[in-house]
Amino acid sequence: DAKTTQPTSMDCAEGRAANLPCNHSTISGNEYVYWYRQIHSQGPQYIIHGLKNNETNEMASLIITEDRKSSTLILPHATLRDTAVYYCIVRTQGAQKLVFGQGTRLTINP
Amino acid sequence: DAGVIQSPRHEVTEMGQEVTLRCKPISGHNSLFWYRQTMMRGLELLIYFNNNVPIDDSGMPEDRFSAKMPNASFSTLKIQPSEPRDSAVYFCASSLGGNTIYFGEGSWLTVV
């Protein structure tokens, strides 16, 4: 699976959109981009995933560039409860396991 | 719906004792994963099963660690004998094939 690069930490004001970038320049055509987050003392929580097209669900939006070498996770109206470590993971289609990197520690400030 | 259920949530044990962590995957899921998380190494995959069969155990640190999945609704991760460096949070996760993986809340292990 392709490696990902994320900033170590980010801050965002409560109520604003949080935009978390991820670089995956070596991604292959059959590799998906997955996002998970881990709130302190809890297990990793699935957020969203995509292949080529932008995706949106009740939690977030995922914007993937046309060349697929980078993506952005958007939390449209961040709340204090969104403070967590966010992991961007590239996973081969049909592959079973997930390999986690270090993620981005997002802090939402009041 | 019930998610992945792990027990115990917290365990403190003495060095040399046997530790058994338990996991009940989401009903209908056929893949099960054991991860370990420490400050130094982050989240590491230890082993995963597909249809109750171990597929990849390359992440199991050493022979003191063993995992079993006797049926589709139960798995154990055993450490014998335990050592202080085994202190970590152990997560179990499950999925249906290559679909989204869902995690339990973890078992916090402290070996003193």
pLDDT of residue B33: 96
pLDDT of residue B98: 82
Instruction: Judge whether A93 is closer than 8 Å to chain B, CB to CB.
Output: yes
Amino acid of residue A96 = Q
Instruction: Judge whether B104 is closer than 8 Å to chain A, CB to CB.
Output: yes
> How is residue A57 written in tokens?
């669900």
* R_g of chain B computed on alpha carbons: 13
The answer for B 10-69 residues in CB contact with A (under 8 A) is: 31, 33, 35, 42-45, 48, 50, 55-56
The fraction of chain A above a pLDDT of 90, given in percent, is 84
Beta bridge partners of A70: A23
Q: Write the pLDDT tens digit of every residue in A86-106.
A: 999 999 877 778 889 999 999
> How is residue B7 written in tokens?
């027990």
CB B29 within 8 A of CB B93: no
Answer whether A99 sits within 8 Å of B98, measured CB to CB: no
CB B78 within 8 A of CB B66: yes
Q: Write the pLDDT tens digit of every residue in A54-84.
A: 999 999 999 999 999 999 999 999 999 999 9
Mean residue pLDDT of chain A comes to 94
Answer whether A43 sits within 8 Å of B104, measured CB to CB: yes
Query: d(Cα B33, Cα A59) in Å, to the nearest integer?
Result: 25
CB A61 within 8 A of CB A6: no
Does B1 score more than 70 pLDDT? no
Answer whether B98 sits within 8 Å of A96, measured CB to CB: yes
pLDDT, average across residues B7-12: 97
Q: Write the pLDDT tens digit of every residue in B54-88.
A: 999 999 988 999 999 999 999 999 999 999 999 99
pLDDT of residue A2: 65
pLDDT of residue A1: 62
